[in-house]
Amino acid sequence: MTTIADIKRLLTEKKASCRELTQRYLDAAAQTNPVLNAYITLTAEAALDAADAVDKKLQSGAQLSPLEGIPFVLKDNISTKGIRTTCASRMLENYVPIFDADVWESLKGQNAVMIGKGNMDEFAMGSTCENSYFGGSRNPHNTEHVAGGSSGGVASAVAGGLAVYGIGSDTGGSIRMPASFCGLVGLKPTYGAVSRRGLIAYGSSLDQIGPITTCVEDAALVFDAICRKDPGDMTSRGAEPVSGKLTGNVKGLKIGIAKEFFEGLPDSIGKALDNAVSLYKKLGAEVVSLDFPMLKYVLPTYYILACAEASSNLGRYDGLRYGYRTDDFNDLNDFICRTRSEGFGPEVRRRILLGTYVLSAGYYDAYYNKAQLLRRSIVVEFAKVFTGCDVLLTPTVPVTALRFGADMTPVEMYQTDILTCSANIAGLPAVSVPCGFDEKGLPIGLQLIGGKFREDIILNTALAFERETSGAFCKDSGMGVTL
């Protein structure tokens, strides 16, 4: 798989111009996207303009910033001024923002080359990317399988060689799950480390923007580029850069293993995780057995809180100001009801209804308040865990990539989030790194969770594994651009 360093080497050694490289990625995306459906919108004009600026800078002999000239994909729930931002929904099918998200503002200022806007589950609600109004994204390793959700298009584009890295969002696993399914590295930063300004909200207390990359060092570079403090986001704190702190040395590191995260795993995933634990022991890490009894409360807590926040955040889509509006209605109430019923897909409607229910009179205390109390208990549980270890090691997802059109029930689909959403509830950083393949050759992900603002520890732990295995689990899909 192509890394940021590979592209940077070609540019600085003048083996290819940035425009030539960008055009190759645009051509590959145009050719392969009908198969993968990774992109909703290709942004050729913006990409080539950025590429020309990079070439001009190279000709002048100036140094490039770390992400300058690197082709990437941006999830389509991140606002881009003058470029369509749909959230993969009929409701915002033709919406063009009038401002840039902080993340895109930062990357654009570094002449990052955006190839296009990545497909996703509608309003980031889903685990397979099949809930998109524009059709689901396919897994480049096997197009009969899903890319994962909700940042499925981003992962599909990166794994398919249609972008070097991607920027997604993670509310309950939406970066880490597609990274696991597609054999990539996916980092969900600490809540507040990356600005959410311009991210179209699903669950405001859970959402976080982060990178999907082909290797750990790239994830660190992208994180460094977007982790600035933003006065436009009151929850933004920024974070210290981490790429200069990564050594790959884990000798003496305490890695926690909580048995609750490993119950009921398929043999292939269990074996891959056992091998990873053995490798860490060989590298000098100390493996510590822990308990995490609160895991059984994580999923109901997450879905009550996330749906409640979705119900509030999506109340603005009424057809009166922007977005889809129905043509056939009797009065104002009928207009709003029909607009929302026609504009939102079934999964979004389901979660809005669930959220409205748990916030309604008579049920607020029984559900929402209780979920907030459980959230506090989960935060306390994690604090207790990190008194005994530096990093918690778990599987990323209890399954590998599902077959496209598997038609799981909503409850079955929600259960795939059980190992990822605890980090969002507690606001902790977590990274998924490839650690093996199942019997069908589909990737398996290993998750590392750390204390708040300890992205350096989890990425360093991931880097140690990646180096020791020589990146053997980052298998090239054979699609897209190859250098």
Overall average pLDDT of the 471-475 stretch: 79
User: What pLDDT band is residue 365 in, cutting at 50, 70 and 90?
Assistant: very high
The pLDDT tens digits for 371-413 are 999 999 999 999 999 999 999 999 999 999 999 998 889 999 9
Catalytic residue among 127, 156, 169, 174: 174
Encode pLDDT of 251-304 as tens digits.
Answer: 999 999 999 999 999 999 999 999 999 999 999 999 999 999 999 999 999 999
pLDDT of residue 482: 78
Give the mean pLDDT of the chain. 96
Given pLDDT bands bounded at 50, 70 and 90, which one contains residue 125?
Answer: very high
Instruction: Compute how many other C-beta atoms are within 10 angstroms of the C-beta atom of residue 366.
Output: 10
Decide if 283 contacts 460 (C-beta within 8 A): no
Q: What is the percent of the chain with per-residue pLDDT over 70, rounded to a whole number? A: 100
* Eight-state DSSP code of residue 91: G
Average pLDDT over residues 227-232: 96
pLDDT score recorded for residue 408: 87
The single residue of 127, 132, 137, 150 carrying the catalytic annotation is 150
The CA distance from 474 to 476, in Å, is: 7
Q: What is the pLDDT of residue 474?
A: 78
pLDDT confidence bin for 478, thresholds 50/70/90: confident
Provide CB contacts within 8 A for 273, sequence distance 6+: 262, 265, 393, 395, 435, 444, 446
Among this protein's residues, is 79 annotated catalytic?
no
* Sequence-ordered list of residues with C-beta below 8 angstroms from that of 383, at least 6 positions apart, any chain: none
Active-site residue, selected from the candidate residues 8, 17, 57, 75? 75
- CA-CA distance, 105 to 127, in Å (whole number)? 28
Whole-number pLDDT of residue 228: 95
| Active-site residue flag, 174 | yes
CATH fold for the domain made of 4-251+428-468: Amidase signature (AS) enzymes (3.90.1300)
Domain boundaries, the chain: 4-251+428-468
pLDDT tens digits, one per residue of 306-325? 999 999 999 999 999 899 99
Question: What confidence category does residue 436 fall into, taking pLDDT thresholds of 50, 70 and 90?
Answer: very high
What pLDDT is stored for residue 483 in this prediction?
A: 78
Per-residue model confidence (pLDDT) at position 280? 98
Question: pLDDT digit string (tens) for 67-95?
Answer: 999 999 999 999 999 999 999 999 999 99
